[in-house]
Each structure stands twice: as C-alpha cells, then as structure tokens.
C-alpha cells in the first residue's frame, strides 16, 4: 500500500458535529482498505479566499491532515466520496 496525505477543511461547527465528520472521513478510508497512520489537527485558520456553498459564505475553516496507507485503486473512489460530501 502507498502512503498518502489528505488535507481536509471542515466548516466551523460544534465539536459533536466535527467529531461525526471526522468519523465519517475515517470510516470511508477504512472501508476502502486504508489504514490511518496519523491524524493531525492543524487548528482553525483563515481560508485563502472566501468560499460560498449553498448561499453561505465561509472565510474560516478547521484544518485536518490525515496520513494514511491505501491501495492505489481506492483513491479515485475516496476522492469521489469526499468531493460530494459538502
């Protein structure tokens, strides 16, 4: 398996919701045959530019870095899963 890094930005949300989002991200990696080696919370930071999603403008986000190993064949489906999870 190949080592990958995945930087995910979550909108600012209460801790229980953030925990659920992190679990969902982790479970998806596990379901695709991956192993998470490290999860690093990089904190709340300003976004480099404003992002508008569903009519809401965001200028800050919680940054997380996942380091994981996964089969190369699973990366496309992981990307597809995360790109749709808005």
pLDDT of residue 79: 87
**Strand 35-53, strand 56-70: pairing:** antiparallel
DSSP state of 73: G
The DSSP annotation for 18-40 comes to HHHHHHHHHHHHHHTT-EEEEEE
Chain centroid to Cα 39, Å, comes to 10
The domain spans of the chain are 2-84
Residue 34: predicted pLDDT: 95
Please determine, for residue 85, whether its predicted confidence score (pLDDT) is greater than 80. Answer: no
> Residue 64's closest CA among 33, 27, 38?
38
**Residue 86 pLDDT greater than 70, yes or no:** no
- Name 63's Cβ contacts closer than 8 Å, sequence gap at least 6: 7, 8, 9, 41, 42, 43, 44, 45
Summarize pLDDT for 4-57 with one digit per residue, the tens: 999 999 999 999 999 999 999 999 999 999 999 999 999 999 999 998 888 889
In the predicted model, is pLDDT for residue 62 greater than 90?
A: yes
Domain 2-84 has CATH 3.40.50.620: no
């Amino acid at each position: 398996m190949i080592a990958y890094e995945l930087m995910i930005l979550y909108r600012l949300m209460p801790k229980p919701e953030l925990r659920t989002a992190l679990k969902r991200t982790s479970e998806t990696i596990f379901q695709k045959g991956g192993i998470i080696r490290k999860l690093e919370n990089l904190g709340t930071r300003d976004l480099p530019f404003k992002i508008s999603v569903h009519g809401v403008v965001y200028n800050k986000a919680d940054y997380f870095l996942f380091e994981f190993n996964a089969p190369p064949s699973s990366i496309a489906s992981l990307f597809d899963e995360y790109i749709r999870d808005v």
